[in-house]
Amino acid sequence: MSSGFIDLDEVQFDIGREGRCGFPEVVYAEGKSKETIWKIFQTIIKHNIDGFATRVSEGKGLFLVQELKRNNIDFSYNKIAKTIRIFKRGVNCVSVCGKVAVISAGTSDLPVAEEAKETVLWTGAEVVFIQDVGVAGPHRLQAKLPLFVDSDAVVVVAGMEGALPSVVGGFVQVPVIAVPTSVGYGASFGGLAALLGMLNSCASNVTVVNIDAGFKAGYVAGLIAKRVGKKM
């Protein structure tokens, strides 16, 4: 161990990131073998870190779940979100810090929305999860408004033309983090149309992350909620 990181050969795991950045280092599972991810998990467990892994394929997930169960580790696996969370030992409950709404335009956007939701939960914020309220039926969104209008931040996940974040932005006085998804027909260009639509939003409180980047949106929303929660 040196300078706040641990040398695991192919991985240099940063155990000091929570002190610098507010949350621990997250494991991005794509491109890593299941054995490498398990080696990182063992380090997380040893140092009692609130661990989080994203983009965990089903095959890797089954292997990691077996290992976690075999070692009696408290964890949560979301197959739709492709995330695994490892809980700290000796923590009976997590103090909720702030409130974040995660809103999806359609059920086809669910995997990205679930990734955002799991990320927000990992940051310690309360989550209000609202599904299938896209602009094709705007009355659905308005009916759900009382559930999220008091949130500290709102994550809005949408594909196709990506209009929903602008609509949501017109109802709330907090940051709206828009997530374009790769859902849509040919002219959506794998989410590029939604991305450009969101970047051109006329709602001044809307900012945008990358295509399908549910994790990034959830992380930023969690940081906002954490800062707000500290001041209360």
pLDDT in tens, 37-65: 999 999 999 998 899 999 999 999 999 99
Residue ending a domain, choose from 53, 86, 119: 86
pLDDT in tens, 118-153: 999 999 999 999 999 988 888 999 999 999 999 999
For the cut 90, the answer to whether the pLDDT of residue 103 exceeds it is yes
Tell me whether residue 177 is in a domain.
Answer: yes
Clarify whether residues 219 and 126 are in a common domain: yes
Here the CATH number for the domain that contains residue 174 is: 3.40.50.1970
Tell me whether residue 94 is in a domain.
Answer: no
Clarify whether residues 36 and 106 are in a common domain: no
* pLDDT for res 100: 96
Contact 31, 2 (CB under 8 A): no
Clarify whether residues 67 and 133 are in a common domain: no
Residue 224 zone, left/alpha/beta (φ > 0; ψ -120 to 50; rest): alpha
Clarify whether residues 223 and 152 are in a common domain: yes
Total of domains in the chain? 2
Domain around 58:
5-86
Q: How many CB atoms lie within 10 A of CB 173?
A: 8
Tell me whether residue 179 is in a domain.
Answer: yes
Secondary structure tally for the chain: helices H, strands E: 8, 11
Tell me whether residue 91 is in a domain.
Answer: no
Place of tokens 């009696």: 72
Question: Rounded to the nearest 5 degrees, what angle is found at the Cα of 99, between the Cα atoms of 93 and 102?
Answer: 110
Model pTM score: 0.90
* pLDDT for res 231: 64
Three-state secondary-structure class, residue 144: helix
Clarify whether residues 190 and 79 are in a common domain: no
* pLDDT for res 92: 46
**Structural tokens at position 172:** 């709330």
Task: Select from 105, 111, 38 the least CA-distant residue to 78.
Answer: 111
| Mean pLDDT calculated for residue range 104-125 | 95
Tell me whether residue 69 is in a domain.
Answer: yes
The one-letter amino acid at 176:
V
Tell me whether residue 189 is in a domain.
Answer: yes
Query: pLDDT band at residue 217, thresholds of 50, 70 and 90?
Result: very high
Clarify whether residues 82 and 104 are in a common domain: no
Clarify whether residues 50 and 104 are in a common domain: no
Tell me whether residue 92 is in a domain.
Answer: no
